[in-house]
Chain A
Amino acid sequence: MRRVAIVGAGMTFFRSMLPMTPQEMVFEAVRKCLDDAGLSHKDVQAVVTGSAPDAFDGYHHKGSVVVESFSGMGKPVSRVFVGGGTGVGVAVAGWWHVASGAFDRVLLVAWEKMSHPYPHAQPLFRTIFDPIIEQPLGPNLIWIFALEMRRYMEAHNLKKEQIAEVAVKNKGNALDHPYAQLGARITVDDVLKSPVLVWPVNRLDISPTSDGAVALMLASEEEAKKITDTPVWLDGVGACLDSQYWTNRDLAYPYYVYLAAQQAYKMAGITNPLKEIDVFEPYDPFTYKELHHLDALLGKPGLAPQLLAEGQLARDGDHPTCPSGGLLGVGNPIAAAGLMKVAELYWQLSGRAGRRQVPNAYVGVAQAWGDLMQVGQVVVCRS
């Protein structure tokens, strides 16, 4: 397998961009990415795309509908879809393209336009439940997150106050992200006093729906050295799917994320993630999810809440987690949000993260999660 590098990144604002088409958004991100890498659209040999269900847009084959926006004509184009895990899944699949030796320069693009469904995207999310044994109960999407959160709280004897710190930290971090949607200075009290939707999930425990696009450029080692002096190496990838029968599993620990992380660590030669990794970007669509996923990335159930309580997950702490602001702060245009985390590693590890820069960041891990609480997608990057 060949070594793979990230040599450029670009993204749009994350927010409701109702007046724009997905094509316009994607073009914006891809143009910025190519400019960052100093490449022409003609240099792209293949494209890996990612976007959530077609139902969000109301038309089919939405992967190829935006082909002009990433100059995919006449090139192999594929689309990854594993629910919320899609964004990081795009980077994993992109790695396969380059590491295999099939392509030298591959463009990754992930986008989402959640402002299409009117008045809200929520009824579409609800279709993840089993149509025969779950839908008759009339669920809304938040049920499953609340159920998982409660199980997680039980396993480690956590209080809502402790978990709410994640929202405070991430929304605060997002104030320094130039593309963020919900950067804000809030307190634990704000989170606890925001409306309860499905206890234990309050309004401020949830990331906002959003529109946005992110693009990354991958290159083989030889090509990367021609393109940039500061490549960020994609040194490990891992992906794992767990059973669809979520009521048959223990939701306290995302074992599938642990397995995906172990694949990536093995590839990257990491044996002690807590010591060897400088920046963590776990998937945080909900407050508890950051801790839940970090537990699995560290391979130690219950460790993440302790680190959070000690302040070690802050951007200037020992184990900076979601220095970007995460989905809670930057926003959650589903597929784009995952790839934003990989872009954040690129910016952090190449010293381009501006006000968000974590000092001495050389190794980072990004992770996304999705489908019916069953997908783990992990990448490890190194500068």
Chain B
Amino acid sequence: MVEYGLDREFGRPDSWAAAVEKKYTEVDGWAVEELILNYWRISLRYLHAPGEAVSRFLNGLKEGRITGTQCDTCGRVLIPPRYFCEWCFKRVDRWVEHPGTGTVSTYSLSYIGTDPGVRLEKPEIVAVIWFDGTVVKRPASKTVVHAAGILHRLGGVEPSGVRVGLRVKPVWRREREGSILDIDHFEPAGGGLV
């Protein structure tokens, strides 16, 4: 700490601009270029199995269908599907098909890419979609305690036109391979806000 001056109070920014624009290689007293550093790269690859329930969900997407499981005891529709209900803690075997229409529970506008260093010209609209007829509320507080829903992109709408409660429907890709991307995006279904 002493050698690199890290034991001292230093570099207190005068403004936020100075604070956030300071480059990580320019910390007072030392710079990355002047240090003896070991550069090490790890390359890892993974094969993730979707498992019993999600495999069936992905096969459904390939056929242009959104499927989920439904618990016989609590009645919840589970999308993404699982083969057991975590509330009732029992196996769930019943499969249901959903048209995929729903509402935007929440959304955001991503001005950065998957790599946060990449700035996007036009923001990507990201949303959590809650499927129609699957929302369970706690009667006393009207708090939503469960909704079958997924994360996806929105299209066919301007960023300024998106609202929480917007009704949406899936837009399918012509070539499908059993991936969440078989749904290209969700677009406004008409019918205004819910």
Contacts and interface: CB of A to CB of B under 8 A. Distances in A.
A23 interface: no
Contacts of A148: 106
Nearest to A167: B16
A186 B27 contact: no
Contacts of A255: 143
B155 to A, nearest CB: 13
Given A150-B106, A151-B164, A247 B150 contact: yes
A251 B106 CA distance: 9
A148 B3 CA distance: 43
Interface in B101-118: 105-117
Contacts of B159: 199
Contacts of A137: 126, 151-153, 180-181
17 contacts: A12-B6, A13-B6, A19-B4, A122-B115, A134-B151, A134-B180, A150-B164, A184-B13, A184-B16, A186-B16, A194-B20, A197-B110, A200-B108, A203-B20, A204-B16, A245-B80, A247-B80
Interface in A172-193: 175, 178, 182-186, 190
A7 to B, nearest CB: 24
Q: Which of A119, A149, A183, A245 has the most CB of B within 10 A?
A: A245
B174 interface: no
A269 B114 CA distance: 46
A259 B165 CA distance: 28
A196 B4 contact: no
Contacts of A186: 15-16
Interface string B90-133: 00000000000000011111111111110000010011100000
A18 B31 CA distance: 9
Nearest to A190: B16
Contacts of B80: 130, 133, 245, 247
Given A20-B4, A123-B115, 7 more contacts: A15-B6, A16-B27, A17-B4, A134-B180, A182-B13, A185-B15, A250-B105
Given A18-B27, A126-B114, A143-B126, A133 B13 contact: no
Interface string A110-149: 0000010011101100100011111011111111001111
Interface string B136-173: 00000001111111111100000100001000000000
Contacts of A194: 16, 20
Contacts of B115: 122-123, 140
A360 to B, nearest CB: 28
Interface string B30-44: 101001010110100
Name the prevailing secondary structure of the A interface residues. Answer: loop
B40 A58 contact: yes
Interface residues of A, number: 67
A150 B50 CA distance: 30
Contact of B48 (A122, A132, A151): A132
Contact of A147 (B7, B39, B42, B107): B107
A13 B2 CA distance: 12
Interface string B1-30: 101101101011111110110001001001
Contacts of A58: 40, 42
Interface string A150-182: 110010000000000000000100010010001
B46 interface: yes
B128 A147 contact: yes
Contacts of B17: 190
B109 A199 contact: yes
A115 B24 contact: yes
B6 A19 contact: yes
B13 A131 contact: no
A142 B124 CA distance: 13
Contact of A140 (B113, B147, B180): B113
Given A136-B181, A243-B86, A248 B109 contact: no
Contact of B12 (A142, A183, A204): A183
Contact of B106 (A151, A175, A183, A253): A151
B179 interface: yes
A68 interface: no
Given A137-B151, A248-B149, A250-B145, A198 B109 contact: yes
A247 B149 contact: yes
Contacts of B30: 18-19
Interface string A239-274: 000010101111101010000000000000000000
A250 B111 contact: no
A139 B114 contact: yes
A28 interface: yes
Nearest to B110: A198
